[in-house]
Amino acid sequence: MNILTENFNTPYHSAPFNIIKNEDFLPAFKELIKKSEEEIESIVNNSEAPTFENVIEILAYSGEQLDMVSHIFFNLNSAETNDELQQIAQEVSPILTEYSSKISQNEALFNKIKKVYDEKEKYNYNEEQQMLLNETYKGFVRSGALLNEKDKETLKKISMDLSVKSLQFGQNVLASTNAYFKHITHKDDLAGIPNAILEQYAEEAKERNLEGWVVTLQYPSYIPFMTYAENRELRKEMALANGKKSFSGDEFDNQNLIKELLQLKQQKATLLGYKDYAHYVLEERMAKSPTKVLDFLNELLIKAKPYANKEIDELKALAKIDGIETMQIYDHAFYAEKLRKAKFDLNDEELKPYFPLHQVQDAVFGLTNELFGLTFEERNDISKYHEDVKVYEVKENGEYKSLLYVDYFPRKGKRAGAWMTSYKNQYKREGINSRPHISIVCNFSKPTKDTPSLLTFQEVTTLFHEFGHAIHGMLANTQYPSLSGTSVKWDFVELPSQFLENFCYEPEFLRTFAKHYITSEVLPDDKIEKIEQSKNFMEGYQTLRQLGFGILDMNYHTKGEDLEKLSIKEFEDKYTSVTQLYPVNPETAMSPSFSHIFQGGYSAGYYSYKWAEVLDADAFQYFKENGIFNSEIAAKYKILLSSGGTKDPMELYKNFRGSEPKVESLLKRAFG
């Protein structure tokens, strides 16, 4: 018996991690694909006239167990991977892509979908049914349903190659990140680094059976080093190592892989009748076209660059005092921290004792309860994939609403960064509202034998960000799984996450949870005031950094002809030059580790972070004008979140706010 092909006999049909074995996955995928294909065949072979109910609806609910096993497998491959899982992923990805292509290019199935779609004016479908029908039809067309047989085969091969190569990209970045560490044996080399961080470095050395201290490229290790280490040569060495991830000409190098991925995407777009991959992607976004995206990014660039230049001039003046004539990128975090302390008398190490992880989590739980009426209760009888993970049952009015998995600490088998994902979608069927299983994965500093996990303020905002996504998933309340929760337009999906970050800067809210982990003393008012004042500290620099990523991404997916003439490094330098504020190092490049666009779902979509900032600034302004815990506005916002992808996002937003978002809200928040 293969547990993955059976109905899980677990609380709320949760994943039985404790009894899943790696060898279960491949046979389970094959069996569940076969079962799903039989469901599709039953639609095709139905002799009755095609209807919404016997074609579109059955298709929407098909493959549920396969979807859940896919979520389990690929989430594990991100959060708790090993060599065996990575090997299985290489085998499974093309199989799943082939299965997906087989469905989307099934001519008999598409003919039935097209007939229902062509006759839609005859029927009085509700809004969600209309959206599902439109999205299903478009999805098939965008997957090649209108192509001839030869082109369908070509598209299928392209899709399989893309799935394998994007997976390989991520595995290379993880391997390259894990391959480097800096072993330090002289404490003088660690001057300036706070004791709590030194303790973390000592623990890392101990785990590697080494004396002294070890710094790695994992962010909880790397960022504090770059922020506090007085040894400039060591900062340079670490920055060089970080900038060379998958850019060293070794077995984990991603440069050729990037070109291969971009060529495949261009081939796919051309085959489907689009000018380039960006046009293909943006047809299904709020922004609609590369021109509109670049105009939006350039408008922000013009507004932000003077502020960014002024900020860097301030840092250069500080560096000059230390005899540094030409400031480099590896000096930025160090002098930014110095300036922040001078301006606001704040530094992360002073603030961290007031932000123990458990208190921050309690705060975000409490805020979610205040705004949306959700409560959280830890469950110890639900299986977990690692001992660090905790599972919570989420309730609304005493009734089960969702499961929430939280996984906070870095491990060798976990990729860097922070993200929200799901193990099970929400949907309604036959009178039953099947609720979602949501997960948050982060990389915060682990507790030591003497201290709990203490968060930097940036990590506090990171937790709120991912929790915003989680709320979007937990509140899902739609009929069909493909329109549920975070299944919205990609440039809309960051609204709930970025919106929730705003609360971290509100004094009224901060006072409820920013308390010293030993004394329980509330963070002093002057510090809270400084946090509020420092909200826009280095905002110009951060804006240009994000704009650089967005501009680079958009050009990667529109300027294929340049890629034939330029190296990855040359291409990156050409299109980010307008946003660069420091000398460019010829030995480093960020593209080979730019997982968001080459492994994740942000290809031709990285701009959406800034796009959604306009939405979140405008939405939070609405709360600010009427009270940040205003129950009436929270109720309207809850409708927006629970509606998922059942309506056009701009319509959802206008229903909530009463008007379209204004870019001025973002500019006012960022630059006053």
Which residue do the tokens 């940040």 mark?
A: 628
Beta bridge partner(s), residue 428: 433
Whole-number Å distance between alpha carbons of 282 and 280:
6
Whole-number Å distance between alpha carbons of 366 and 286:
32
| Residues 525, 643 contacting (CB under 8 angstroms) | no
Q: What phi and psi, each to the nearest 5 degrees, are found at residue 438?
A: -110, 150
| Residues 556, 262 contacting (CB under 8 angstroms) | yes
Q: What phi and psi, each to the nearest 5 degrees, are found at residue 308?
A: -65, -45
Q: What phi and psi, each to the nearest 5 degrees, are found at residue 2?
A: -105, 115
Instruction: Supply 631's token pair.
Output: 């129950």
**92, 80, 100, 95: which is closest to 15 by C-alpha?**
80
| Residues 18, 389 contacting (CB under 8 angstroms) | no
Among 337, 466, 494, 613, the active-site one is 466
Helix H segments across 244-323? 255-271, 277-282, 290-321
For residue 250, give the DSSP letter: S
Which residue do the tokens 């991959």 mark?
A: 277
Helix (H), strand (E) at residue 625? helix 608-626
Which residue do the tokens 């929200």 mark?
A: 420
The radius of gyration of the chain's CA atoms, rounded to the nearest angstrom, is: 25
Other Cβ atoms within 10 Å of 108 Cβ, number: 11
Q: What is the DSSP string of 363-397?
A: HHHHHHHHHH-EEEEE-SSS--SSTT-EEEEEEET
**174, 176, 226: which is closest to 197 by C-alpha?**
226
For 176, half-sphere exposure in the C-beta direction (CA atoms, 13 angstrom radius) is: 25
Instruction: Supply 375's token pair.
Output: 């409560």
**300, 259, 217, 333: which is closest to 572 by C-alpha?**
259
Helix, strand or coil, per DSSP, at residue 658: coil
198-207 burial by CB neighbour count: b if 16+ within 10 A, else e? bbbbbbbbee
For residue 522, give the DSSP letter: B
Instruction: Supply 586's token pair.
Output: 């010829």
Q: What is the DSSP string of 431-497?
A: TEEEPPEEEEE--PPPP-SSS--B--HHHHHHHHHHHHHHHHHHT---SSGGGSTT-S-TTTTTHHH
Which residue do the tokens 């949870």 mark?
A: 513
* Distant-in-sequence, close-in-space partners of 568: CB < 8 Å, separation ≥ 6: 255, 258, 259, 589, 591, 592
Instruction: Examine the residue annotation and report whether 466 is marked as an active-site residue of this protein.
Output: yes
Other Cβ atoms within 10 Å of 387 Cβ, number: 6
For residue 646, give the DSSP letter: S
Other Cβ atoms within 10 Å of 605 Cβ, number: 27
| Residues 397, 412 contacting (CB under 8 angstroms) | no
| Residues 212, 185 contacting (CB under 8 angstroms) | yes
Q: What phi and psi, each to the nearest 5 degrees, are found at residue 454?
A: -110, 130
Catalytic residue numbers read 466
